[in-house]
């Protein structure tokens, strides 16, 4: 028997799914007799929203329940590493963000972060004869992947 909510394999006498907790009732059709039945009744969206699933399911890639199939392999890999480290790993140095700065943020759909970093680089660079601008580019290179992770995976905007 399989849970129709999550597809978990269960014994015939189970009353609740051991994985998701769904109550199983033969009268209501809450369970399936084979894995194909269970798999056909669960969508990838339901699976990802039920759990903070990270990995591959049904040909799609998820990080913390967010479908990242459309992302380049580089981003899938970075998002998984950041997620699995619980924030301890902030991502590789991002050379594109370093060289293009605020434009990189605009291209990645982070316009507020782009404007903030542009303002810091321009104003700080003017006041410090370019030294703060260079420092800003370096910081952006180190922080860009983590900032994008927070935006795409956790749906929160951070700027630093």
Q: Where along the chain do its domains lie? A: 1-42, 43-89, 91-152
Structure tokens of 88?
Answer: 């301890």
pLDDT given for residue 65 in this prediction: 80
Residues 82/68, Cβ–Cβ less than 8 Å: no
**Which CA distances in Å does 102 have to 2, 38, 39, 109, 118?**
50, 47, 44, 11, 5
The residues with which 97 forms a beta bridge, in sequence order, are none
pLDDT given for residue 34 in this prediction: 52
**Which CA distances in Å does 41 have to 27, 50, 56?**
17, 14, 18
CB-based burial label for 58 (10 Å; 0-12, 13-18, 19+): exposed
Residues 53/47, Cβ–Cβ less than 8 Å: yes
Structure tokens of 118?
Answer: 């542009």
Q: What is the pLDDT of residues 83-134, one digit of tens each?
A: 989 878 999 999 999 999 999 999 999 999 999 999 999 999 999 999 999 9
Q: What is the pLDDT of residues 6-65, one digit of tens each?
A: 776 766 666 666 666 667 765 544 455 555 555 445 554 444 444 466 777 777 888 888
pLDDT given for residue 49 in this prediction: 44
Q: What is the DSSP string of 57-105?
A: ETTEEEETTEE-TTS-HHHHHHHHHHHHTTTS------HHHHHHTHHHH
pLDDT given for residue 94 in this prediction: 96
pLDDT given for residue 48 in this prediction: 44
> What is the average per-residue pLDDT within 138-159?
93
pLDDT given for residue 18 in this prediction: 61
């Amino acid at each position: 028997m399989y849970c129709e909510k999550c597809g978990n394999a269960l014994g015939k006498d189970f009353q609740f799914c051991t994985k998701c907790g769904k109550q199983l009732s033969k009268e209501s059709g809450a369970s399936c007799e084979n894995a194909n039945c269970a798999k056909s009744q669960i969508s990838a969206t339901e699976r990802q929203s039920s759990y903070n699933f990270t990995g591959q399911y049904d040909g799609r890639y998820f990080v913390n329940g967010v479908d990242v199939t459309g992302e380049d392999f580089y981003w899938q890999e970075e998002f998984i590493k950041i997620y699995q480290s619980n924030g301890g790993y902030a991502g590789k140095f991002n050379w594109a963000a370093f060289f293009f700065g605020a434009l990189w943020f605009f291209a990645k759909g982070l316009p507020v972060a782009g404007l903030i970093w542009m303002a810091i680089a321009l104003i700080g660079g003017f006041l410090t004869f370019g030294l703060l601008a260079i420092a800003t580019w370096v910081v952006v290179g180190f922080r860009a992947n983590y900032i994008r992770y927070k935006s795409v995976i956790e749906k929160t905007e951070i700027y630093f």
